[in-house]
Amino acid sequence: MRIVLLGTGDTVGTPKIGCRCPACMDALAGGRSARTRFSILVESDEGRVLIDTGPDLRYQLLKSGIDHVDGVIWTHGHYDHYAGFGEFYRVQDHVGVYGVKGTLDYILQYLYFMDPVRHNVAMYEPFRLIGLEFTLFQVYHPPVSEPAGVLVRDGEKKLVITGDTQKQIPERSIALMQNPDLLICDAITPPLFNLTKHMNTEEAEELSATLSAKEMVMIHMSHLFPPHDEAVLQWNLGYDGMELVL
């Protein structure tokens, strides 16, 4: 299983429009602080699946040389996680889309002009795509009613993607998430800042320890970090285009 972090930024991305902070200046200069909006590619020998489709999807697909996917899983109905799906328009027809019913109802109203193949998925019930087993599990991201994380199994290998969440993840989900080979974890800021809809780096590290994760990479970062090359001396931050193999 190959994982590519196509977009590791928060809802506004880095650089933030009009901002001259150190991270935004590094991003404007071409540094790894440049972060597009959320999307993750999961690839097997049988195909490719996107976890969320952020607004920068066209650029991400072109940069990664991806011209076809075999499915899209949406974790929740926030703009920065689905709005790029329209970039498939006149490129790929009848894309299979997967998510809980309420999430699909909301997103497909926005994407009324497209014709994806809808697959309603229940929380905690595994389904198969591209030879891998996927399971959605409940996280905590109010006011979203059913935000999901994603568990992916490839034989004995286990990938956990938290999706957008605060630290109050249900116990049923925590039990399912235990002992991942790789945890890709929401971590929007260092703990100095108080952005309450997401975990910060300290909470992400605590979750990783609770789950006994073998490896953890932080994602969904804001521009409030130091420039990337400085920040990674303290935190294990992902970056756009980062590849991981299980």
How many CB atoms are closer than 10 A to CB 47? 15
Any idea what DSSP says for residue 84? Answer: G
Domain CATH for 10: 3.60.15.10
**CB-CB contact of 148 with 136 (8 Å):** yes
Tell me which amino acid residue 240 is. Answer: D
Kind of pairing, strands 39-44 and 157-161? unpaired
Task: Please state the domain count of the chain.
Answer: 1
d(C-alpha 14, C-alpha 223), whole Å: 5
Domain that holds residue 223: 2-245
At residue 192 the predicted structure's pLDDT band, cuts being 50, 70 and 90, is confident
Confidence class for position 193, pLDDT limits 50, 70, 90: confident
What pLDDT is attached to residue 196?
Answer: 77
* Structure confidence by residue, pLDDT tens digits, 44-92: 999 999 999 999 999 999 999 999 999 999 999 999 999 999 999 889 9
Query: Which pLDDT belongs to residue 195?
Result: 74
Dihedral sign computed on CA atoms, order 105, 106, 107, 110: positive
Burial degree of 102 (CB within 10 A; 0-12, 13-18, 19+): middle
Q: What is the pLDDT averaged over residues 195-201?
A: 88
**Residues of the chain above pLDDT 90, percent:** 93
Q: How confident is the model at residue 197 (pLDDT cuts 50, 70, 90)?
A: confident
- The tokens for 113 are 């002009």
In 3-state terms, what secondary structure has residue 55?
Answer: coil
Q: How far apart are CA 119 and CA 17, in angstroms?
A: 36
Q: What percent of the chain has pLDDT over 70?
A: 100
Statement: residue 180 has pLDDT above 90? yes
Strands 72-73 and 96-99: parallel
| pLDDT mean over 6-35 | 97
Confidence tier at 122 by pLDDT (50, 70, 90)? very high
Of 86-95, 126-135, 164-173, which range is least confident?
86-95
